[in-house]
Structure 1
Amino acid sequence: MSGSAQATGEVPETGASQAADEPREQRLGPVVRRRQQVMTGTADQRLLDSRGPSDWVHQDPWRVLRIQSEFVEGFGALAELGPAVCVFGSARTKPGTPDYEDARRIGQGLAEAGFAVITGGGPGAMEAANLGASESGGVSVGLGIELPFEQGLNPYVDVGINFRYFFVRKTMFVKYAQGFLVLPGGLGTMDELFEALTLVQTKKVTRFPIVLLGSAYWGGLADWLRDTVIAQGKASELDGELFQITDDLDEAIRLVTKP
């Protein structure tokens, strides 16, 4: 090949058939695409072509940027929050019930103790805890999640963030809380509880208090962990000490806020 052909990238006619038989290769930053995986056009072309399909926004490379943006927004919104406690509980807890009033009083007590209250931002026990914190002049935070049946952030949230991704939301719960206070709840509450227990057990986070309110509700779970999981060697005796159960609201607040 002549120097002129090398400079322009032209392929001499005599080598055209040979070049067509060779595997095609495309380098896009650190990504190499070959054969049928070579993409036609350029990224700028696809970006600027308003007539093209819009499904590219749902592909994994774009999701990375959306995930990154959620971390940036969350860190930025909560960086100066100060001491805070996460309160978990059921979205199905009805106003006027004992569980709702307990959550409300807990929100009040945490705010009076100088702690911001972080919840999942939804209705039920979360709403009650946010309401209590707001009534006592505390900072009321709601970290919502995009769900097909979610009602959105409750009206008592002062600082609210809606997340697309559960794992980003969970990071915010753990990073900005000094303790978890868990009221009776369903599968979502269980998920948040065991996420916290696992992180503490595996020393991924500095140990912090995890307090469960309601011995009648949580006692069966504690018994199962002790008599089945720990007894069969699936967890250690120390794992049974990662959380505490109480029926006393003042004790729950004290346990979760003590230095």
Structure 2
Amino acid sequence: MTPEEREHHRKGPVTLRGAQRPDRTTDQRLLEESASGAWVHSDPWRVLRIQSEFVEGFGALSELGPAISIFGSARLGEGHPDYECARRIGAGIAERGYAVITGGGPGIMEAGNRGAQEAGGVSVGLGIELPHEQGLNPYVDLGVDFRYFFARKTMFVKYSSGFVVMPGGFGTFDELFEALCLMQTHKIDMFPVILVGRDYWQGLLDWVSSAVVDRGMISLADLDLVRVVDTAEEALAALGEAIRGDDEGPAAGEHRTSAEDEVVDAS
């Protein structure tokens, strides 16, 4: 095994290999229950580390400009139809003057970054510390590594003008439903959420529109928070319709939460 092939572990900006690789992630250590009172001494320092992640993320992305996030499975490689679709979407987003933000990993994330880079746009990857990870993909031009999922997810919401959600697993579902929850509860302003691949998403939508709506868990109007398309061209057209239209170009500024508006108003 060459030095380049050795398994590595990222902790924010730090890379660890060999015996230096920890057996637990930072999130696991933060959330575990401790039988002793040792957390009294360690958690205040964790707060500072968490604060630093927000500061680093805000600092890296504050001048990014308008951007669209692309989510999807890390398990699909080049040549897969979903990979190629995400690649075309990434290119189309860049050609319309938006940056492309992904989770920075392989699969759909790589495809979105690759499309943006090939089109001459800004390609952003927000990486995360995981027990088994492959680091940022080679098509990321601006990369930020995070220890904590919640800090990373804040960056996706804060700096995105829309989400394009390709087929994916639990991580993709997590990003999708968090965005829908924040919009439904008016914690953030509305922005387009485009689901790509009707054959993949239709079963979920059928369940939501029947069992969930019928039991009053959500209202029928909440289904309007998402739009389903089948092709890259349809996804780009839907984004263009939702964000001022292609002719007017990208909206200026970043996507800001209601809480941030309150801070600005109070000042």
Q: TM-score, structure 1 length as denominator?
A: 0.77
- Compute the displacement of 1:254 (Å): 2.3
Q: Secondary structure of the residue that 2:133 maps to in structure 1?
A: coil
Q: Secondary structure of the residue that 1:154 maps to in structure 2?
A: coil
Q: Which consecutive residues of structure 1, in runs of 5 or more, have no partner in the other structure?
A: 1-36, 38-54
Q: Secondary structure of the residue that 1:181 maps to in structure 2?
A: strand
- Compute the displacement of 1:232 (Å): 1.0
Kept in 1, the 8 Å contact 2:127–2:143? The answer is: yes
**Structure 2 residue corresponding to 1:155, chosen from 133, 138, 150:** 138
**Structure 2 residue corresponding to 1:249, chosen from 224, 228, 232:** 232
**Following the alignment from structure 2 to structure 1, what is the Cα–Cα distance between the partners of residues 45 and 236?**
42
Counterparts of residues 57-206 of structure 1 (less than 5 Å): 59-206=42-189
- Compute the displacement of 1:171 (Å): 0.4
- Compute the displacement of 1:182 (Å): 0.2
Q: Secondary structure of the residue that 1:141 maps to in structure 2?
A: strand
Kept in 2, the 8 Å contact 1:197–1:242? The answer is: yes
Kept in 2, the 8 Å contact 1:85–1:256? The answer is: no
**Following the alignment from structure 2 to structure 1, what is the Cα–Cα distance between the partners of residues 81 and 42?**
46
**Following the alignment from structure 1 to structure 2, what is the Cα–Cα distance between the partners of residues 129 and 177?**
14
Q: Secondary structure of the residue that 1:80 maps to in structure 2?
A: coil
Which fold has the larger relative contact order, with Cα–Cα distance below 8 Å and residues 6 or more apart in sequence? 2
C-alpha distance after superposition, 1:163-217 (max 9, x if no partner): 0000000000000000000000000000000010001100110000000000000
Counterpart residue type for residue 91 of structure 2: Q
**Following the alignment from structure 2 to structure 1, what is the Cα–Cα distance between the partners of residues 175 and 74?**
13
Q: Secondary structure of the residue that 1:219 maps to in structure 2?
A: helix
Larger mean CA deviation between 180-189 and 245-254 belongs to: 245-254
Partner of 1:236: 219
How many residue pairs get aligned? The number is 206
Larger mean CA deviation between 126-135 and 245-254 belongs to: 245-254
Q: TM-score, structure 2 length as denominator?
A: 0.75
Q: Percent identity?
A: 65
Q: Which consecutive residues of structure 2, in runs of 5 or more, have no partner in the other structure?
A: 1-36, 245-267
Counterpart residue type for residue 114 of structure 2: L
Q: Which has the larger radius of gyration?
A: 1
**Following the alignment from structure 1 to structure 2, what is the Cα–Cα distance between the partners of residues 249 and 127?**
16
C-alpha distance after superposition, 1:139-182 (max 9, x if no partner): 00000100011111001001000100000000000000000000
Q: Secondary structure of the residue that 1:245 maps to in structure 2?
A: strand
- Compute the displacement of 1:248 (Å): 2.6
